[in-house]
Amino acid sequence: MRLFSLYLAEGRGWGLVFLSPDPIFDFTFLRTQGEVTCLEPLTPFLPVGIAGCLFHGILRQYRAADLSSAAPVPLEELRDLCLREAGRMDFPFWDWGEENRPAALEGPSPAVHPLPRRDELGEVASLLAGRLLSLREIARLAGYPGEGGTAALQRVLQVLCLRGAAALVPALYPLKGSLVRCQRCGWEGIPDTGFCRACRSEACCTCPECRLMGPLSLCEPLYTAVPQRSAERQALEKAGVWGRLQKLFGLGKRDGGREEAGGREVLCTPLFFGVAPWGKSNCRAEAAKGGAPSSAVRPRHPLRLEVRLTPPQEAAAEALRDFGARAAPGSTFLVWAACGAGKTEVSFPLLGDALSRGEEVLFATPRRDVVLEIAPRLTRVFGKKVIVPLYGGSGNLGREAPLIVATTHQALRFYRKFDLVILDEGDAFPYAGSRMLHFAVERARRPGGRLVLLTATPAPWMFGSGRKGSFAMIKIPARPHGFPLPEPRFLTVDPLQNTGGKKRLRREVLDLIASLLKLPGARLFIFVPSVALTGVVGEALRAAAGEPPLEGICPEAFQWSHAGDRRRDLKRERFMAGDFPVLVTTTIMERGVTVPRVHVVVLDAGEEMVFDTPTLVQIAGRCGRSPDYPTGEVWFVDSEISRAMEEARAQIRSFNEEARRKGYLRDDYGILLKELQAFPSGVKGSVKDVP
Q: Which residues bind Zn ion (CB under 5 A)?
A: 182, 184-185, 187, 196, 198-199, 204, 207, 209-210, 217, 219
Nearest-approach distance from CB 165 to Zn ion, in angstroms: 25
**Smaller CB distance to Zn ion: residue 187 or 272?**
187
Nearest-approach distance from CB 197 to Zn ion, in angstroms: 8
Helix, strand, coil abundance in the chain, percent, nearest 5: 40, 20, 40
CB–CB of 251/265 below 8 Å?
Answer: no
Nearest-approach distance from CB 186 to Zn ion, in angstroms: 7
What whole-number distance in Å separates Cα of residue 336 and Cα of residue 346?
Answer: 11
**Smaller CB distance to Zn ion: residue 199 or 341?**
199
- Tell me the DSSP string of 306-361: -----HHHHHHHHHHHHHHHHPPTT-EEEEEE-TTS--GGGGHHHHHHHHHTT--E
**Smaller CB distance to Zn ion: residue 181 or 367?**
181
Q: How many CB atoms neighbour CB 368 within 10 A?
A: 18
Nearest-approach distance from CB 86 to Zn ion, in angstroms: 17
**Smaller CB distance to Zn ion: residue 49 or 164?**
49
Nearest-approach distance from CB 413 to Zn ion, in angstroms: 12
**Smaller CB distance to Zn ion: residue 91 or 333?**
91
Nearest-approach distance from CB 439 to Zn ion, in angstroms: 10
**Smaller CB distance to Zn ion: residue 217 or 365?**
217
**Smaller CB distance to Zn ion: residue 110 or 262?**
262
What whole-number distance in Å separates Cα of residue 620 and Cα of residue 628?
Answer: 18
Q: From 466, 378, 373, select the one nearest 427 (Cα to Cα).
A: 373
What whole-number distance in Å separates Cα of residue 550 and Cα of residue 541?
Answer: 9
CA distances from 549 to 242, 459, 507, 581, 636 (A): 81, 40, 8, 16, 20
**Smaller CB distance to Zn ion: residue 184 or 343?**
184
What whole-number distance in Å separates Cα of residue 432 and Cα of residue 437?
Answer: 9
Nearest-approach distance from CB 172 to Zn ion, in angstroms: 8
CB–CB of 18/26 below 8 Å?
Answer: yes
- Tell me the DSSP string of 408-420: HHHHTTB-S-EEE
Nearest-approach distance from CB 135 to Zn ion, in angstroms: 13
**Smaller CB distance to Zn ion: residue 5 or 613?**
5
Nearest-approach distance from CB 21 to Zn ion, in angstroms: 13
CA distances from 152 to 223, 225, 400, 479 (A): 15, 19, 24, 57
**Smaller CB distance to Zn ion: residue 218 or 271?**
218
Nearest-approach distance from CB 437 to Zn ion, in angstroms: 13
Computed from CA positions of residues 304, 411, 392, 594, in that sequence, does the dihedral angle turn out positive or negative? negative
Q: From 633, 652, 610, select the one nearest 339 (Cα to Cα).
A: 652
Q: What is the DSSP letter of 600?
A: E
CB–CB of 377/437 below 8 Å?
Answer: no
Nearest-approach distance from CB 85 to Zn ion, in angstroms: 20
What whole-number distance in Å separates Cα of residue 190 and Cα of residue 69?
Answer: 41
For helices 146-162 and 118-128, angle between their N-to-C axes, nearest 10 degrees: 80
CA distances from 122 to 243, 283, 536 (A): 20, 6, 63
What whole-number distance in Å separates Cα of residue 355 and Cα of residue 422?
Answer: 13
What whole-number distance in Å separates Cα of residue 64 and Cα of residue 86?
Answer: 21
**Letter for the amino acid at 238?**
K
**Smaller CB distance to Zn ion: residue 197 or 566?**
197
**Smaller CB distance to Zn ion: residue 46 or 207?**
207
Q: Which helix (H) or strand (E) holds 598?
A: strand 598-603
Nearest-approach distance from CB 187 to Zn ion, in angstroms: 5
